Amino acid sequence: MAVPKKKISKSRRNMRRSHLALTPVGIVVCSNCGESKLPHHLCANCGQYNGRQILKDKRQSA
């Protein structure tokens, strides 16, 4: 059975875990409607991507 020979100090343990932190998700603003969206994704509000209309606009059909 694997058992550590010496105690790992809190400092060494925390230094090892320093790379495990989560990074925040990048959020951008849609250039057409101003709604927040994920980068390189279709805008769920207006249906545009890269200046082109991909999906029907939800606001027009309602």
pTM: 0.57
Q: Rounded distance, CA 62 to CA 58, Å?
A: 6
What are the structural domain ranges in the chain? 26-62
For the chain, the average pLDDT equals 89
Block means of pLDDT (10 residues each) for the chain, 62 residues, are 93 96 93 93 91 77 54
**Tokens matching residue 4:** 């550590």
Q: Are 37 and 50 within 8 A, CB to CB?
A: no
**Tokens matching residue 30:** 């849609």
Instruction: Give residue-wise pLDDT tens across range 34-45.
Output: 999 999 999 999
